Structure 1
Amino acid sequence: MTTFGCQMNEHDSERMKGMLESLGYVPAERRAEADLILFNTCSIRERADDRFIAHLQEAAALKRRAPDTVIGVGGCWAQSVKHEVFERFPYVDVAFGPGQVHKLAEFLTSESLSAQGFFEFESFTGDLPARRARRHQGWLQVSVGCNCVCSYCIVPSTRGREVSRDPDTLIAEIRRQAADGVSEVTLLGQNVNSYGRDLPADRRVSFSELLRRIDAVEGIRRIRYTSPHPKDMREDVIRAHAELPALCEHIHLPLQSGSSAVLKRMRRTYTRERYLDRVALIREQLPDCGLTTDIIVGFPGETEADFEQTLTLVDEVGYDGAFTFLYSPRRDTEAAALEDQVPHEVKVERLERLVGLVQRRASDRAQRFVGRSLEVLIEGPSRTDPARLRGRTRHNKVVNFDGLGEPGDYVQVEISGATSQTLTGAMSLVAAAAG
């Protein structure tokens, strides 16, 4: 299985693996050894499409040598090209959208493996069994789909309208995860903080209330969520960060642009001023909160003055990190047909300036951790030095440090250095209890 894209796709892939294991499948070490080759795809950016196609062509070559190999394509890309997937890629055996993952099992257990496609929303992948990548970390799919109409985004057409899962179902799932060793859970939704508004009145709870119910589950030490929408980031959720012991001191608040004019063309439904008001409220309630964001550079019609407004906002806010992207037209979106497309070389030059500023301000922000002792959840060995450990703070900062411990352990680390990306340090002599 190869997964592209966001955390929701990672969650869906874990559910696919759990479902396949229940059917008797076991993971293959290499693609060439597999009887079943699966791709869970993303269609948010053109680059993801290009990467996936290269992998799919490799699978096709393997199928020519071993014709009984089954090739399956799921996820948002499959949904977005549902009317042409088998015509363009005749070697694909099964294709399915994000709401039809369970149909993969029906296909694999059917008597005839003729090419089939499944693209209607029928169920949540969160209802399927999971094979987690890390025993101590779990995903919780609280909703799927999106009711927003951002002019650049393909998600509403690939994942559909927003649908929330029943709160009692979610709490039951969290309790099962906690009993199975999960201590850190990440809540997932395309617009996670609008959770619950579509539920029947007698079952409806707000996102902040859901957070409180999860915080009360024994064994859950950390709660994260992604991604909220600034228009729905309300004071009750921000207060929950200050009041709930398990809710981490980190908020990912997508900006996309610092120009109100660009935000209007994006159909983001908030202004620069409204966004800064949300940031001010977060900093008032949570002065130490880690704040990260998403920014798109070169949206159609973005002028140099528009881009300068993004730079001044980034400088004013001082993010702890940012995911920055060149605008890429996506099929079937309003923005793809807009005039005044920004030349590629202009987008690249602006991105370089933005990344430089983000890194400088993130480095400044990170210095507040130097000299402090922070709780770190160990994830494994450091990627740059296997002799050291890597973990993550409640602020979502990666820490490379000296010490002993196992993945899933919570330890105290004395922070001695900081860059825009990572912290460094050594484990305290008195470590926190293991997770």
Structure 2
Amino acid sequence: MTKKLFIKTYGCQMNVYDSKRMADVLKPHGYTLSETPDEANLVVLNTCHIREKAAEKVYSEIGRLRQIKDAKAEGGEDMYIAVAGCVAQAEGPEMMRRAPAIDLVLGPQTYHRLPDMLKSAEEQRRSGRRSSRVLDTEFPVETKFDHLPQDSDYEGPAAFLTVQEGCDKFCTFCVVPYTRGAEYSRPVQDIIDEAKLLIQKGVLEITLLGQNVNAYHGDLENGKTASLGELIKRLADLDGLERIRYTTSHPRDMDAELIAAHRDIPECMPYLHLPVQSGSDKILDAMNRKHTAERYFEIIDELRTGRPDIALSSDFIVGFPGETDEDFEATMELVRRVNYAQAYSFKYSPRPGTPASVLETQVEEHVKSERLTALQALLGEQQIAFNKTSVGKTMDVLLERIGKEEGQLVGRSPYLQAVHVDVTNTVQDHSTDNIASNMMNKLAKVEIVEAGPRSLKGVLAEQ
């Protein structure tokens, strides 16, 4: 019997990857994806602990789902609610206590156990127990990557592929080491095998994922280990793989082999997300980042020497405890010097259980807001300026979806810019169906004719 599954994904790309795997492991058990929770037999909230008030947002969602669940129960229909991901890992027993509507709680390392956990919950409910509540701690610990489905229904030309999980850096503001655990790298051949499956399904671009992806050190069959640079080199040799990206990186792990990969491997895209967080060495030390602003500059110079067209993005935290006006100005100066194509910036907010959350030098909220406004204005100016440099250029765009306008497709440039492409000048039949069948999921040469703050417009160049 076909059953419906609804997954709501919070946070990072790794959660997107994990959500896809959850759908895959449930498929042999009769579950197909639903667009809404209203018709679902199982709802999974795949949570993230990074953002502020992450747990509270999950509880609010559970409150809405409980109403749906109760209404279904009155009609004699079963519905199960599962909470997965990092919030589940950090607060599982407390969530069970606080929200009785939850049936299953599983951390990010145990999603392959979801069918067994669901079976246990179903058996409890059939036995007449008042609750059907299952924690992943009731099941043996295994490596989830040993249980990847081989028949994933993947659609689209771009895919995520997790190669590394966990973090050993222990930045004082971050909960990842506590929720995702120690650094773990998948064996090289396992990654190659999964990449081949994706390529067989039409994937042209793979983004390698990891909490500290450039700390990758995967086992080789000869007993040695491979760095991320070596892994990228081996993936680039696969027939049919046109583009390789990776995220998220740490400056401490940008080694010479990885920098050389940007220089020497055409499939390695000229775009790098390299979070710096602050331009002040004092704040970087307080964050336990274990790199300096000057070392960050050296890495950028090395990258640009080898690949002059590379573009950078980054993460910034403003208002970290103890940050002075001088510290913030150092961040602004770093931004001016590097000149980013894109960046993400946030006000510092304490995460329970992290060292920074108990510091007595917390910055006042209005100061953090003022600094964030100034930083985002500068970053916005740089992003617009970078986009404008694309006008008049012809670049390869990976076309991924149909646009809102007739005769329009939307794709991504090598620099991850969204590009809205008018294809009507080369397609006789301007219908959406014709465009999709002829151009979708392909790389096309596009001449950029207009640049906006967050996207580009282009027309198909002569193919």
Please report the TM-score for the alignment, with normalisation by the length of structure 1. Answer: 0.94
1:365 to 381, 386, 409: 386
C-alpha deviation, 1:140, in angstroms: 1.3
Aligned residue for 1:247?
Answer: 268
Q: In 2, are the aligned partners of 1:140 and 1:174 still within 8 Å (CA)?
A: yes
Q: How many residues align?
A: 429
Deviations 1:273-301 (A, max 9, x none): 11111111111111111210111111111
1:69 matched residue in structure 2: 79
1:6 aligned residue: 12
2:255 corresponds, among 209, 223, 234, to 234
1:339 aligns with 360
Alignment-derived partner of residue 456 in structure 2: 423
Pick one of 7, 22, 25 that aligns with 2:31.
25
CA offset digits 1:291-342 (Å, max 9, x no partner):
1011111111111111111111101111000011111111111111011111
Q: Which moved more, 1:127-136 or 1:190-199?
A: 127-136
Counterpart in the other structure of 1:284 = 305
**Aligned residue among 141, 147, 157 for 1:136:** 157
Tell me whether 1:296 sits opposite 2:296 in the alignment. Answer: no
Shift of 1:122: 2.5
Q: 1:315/1:143 Cα in 2 relative to 1: closer, same or farther (>3 Å)?
A: same
- Give the direction of change, closer, same or farther, for the CA distance of 1:132–1:309 in structure 2 (3 Å limit): farther
Query: Is 1:112 aligned to residue 119 of structure 2?
Result: no
Contact 1:126 1:141 in 2 (8 A): no
Give the one of 89, 93, 100 matched to 1:90.
Answer: 100
State the match for 2:240 in structure 1. Answer: 219
1:15 and 1:126 in contact (8 A); partners too? no
Find the counterpart in structure 1 of residue 42 from structure 2. 36
| 1:126–1:309 Cα change, 3 Å | farther
Question: Does 2:394 match 1:394?
Answer: no
Amino acid in structure 1 at the alignment position of 2:124: S
Report the AA paired with residue 368 of structure 1: T
What SS class does the counterpart of residue 399 from structure 1 fall into? strand
- Tell me the equivalent position of 2:344: 323
- Partners of 2:171 and 2:246 in 1: CA distance: 21
Give SS of 1:81's match: helix
Kindly state the Cα deviation for residue 54 of structure 1 after the two structures are TM-superposed: 2.0
Which of 267, 278, 299 pairs up with 2:288?
267
Comparing 200-209 with 340-349, greater Cα deviation is found at 200-209
Q: CA deviation at 1:126?
A: 7.6
Using the TM superposition, give the Cα deviation of residue 270 of structure 1 relative to its aligned residue in structure 2, in angstroms: 0.3
Cα pair 1:401 1:426 within 8 Å, conserved: yes
Counterparts in 2 of 1:199 and 1:81: CA distance versus 1, 3 Å:
farther
1:375 pairs with 2:396: yes
C-alpha separation between the residues in 2 aligned to 1:367 and 1:211?
30
State which drifts further: 276-285 or 195-204: 195-204
Change (3 A) 1:21 1:237: same
Residue 121 of structure 1: how far off its partner (Å): 5.5
8 Å contact from structure 1 (residues 297, 327) kept in 2: yes
Provide the aligned C-alpha RMSD in A: 1.9
Partner of 1:413, secondary structure, is strand
CA shift in 2, pair 1:46/1:399, >3 Å: same
Quote the sequence identity (%). 38
> Unaligned 5+ residue runs, structure 1?
431-435
In 2, the alpha carbon distance for the partners of 1:6 and 1:366 equals: 25
Cα distance in 1, alignment partners of residues 119 and 406 from structure 2: 43
- Separation in structure 1 between the aligned mates of residue 439 and residue 84 of structure 2, nearest angstrom: 34
Name the SS of the counterpart of 1:319 in structure 2.
coil
TM-score under structure 2 normalisation? 0.89
Code of the aligned partner of 2:184: V
Provide the secondary structure at the position in 2 that maps to 1:45: coil
Contact 1:382 1:400 (C-alpha < 8 Å) held by counterparts: yes
Residue deviations 1:119-165 (CA, integer Å, cap 9, x gap): 58632358422756643222211111111110010011111001111
The amino acid that maps onto 1:30 is T
1:167/1:203 contact within 8 Å kept: no
Q: Any idea what SS the aligned residue of 1:112 has?
A: helix
Q: Who is 1:433 aligned against?
A: none
Structure 2 vs 1, CA of residues 314 and 9 (structure 1 numbering), >3 Å: closer, same or farther?
same
Residue of 399, 412, 420 corresponding to 2:445: 412
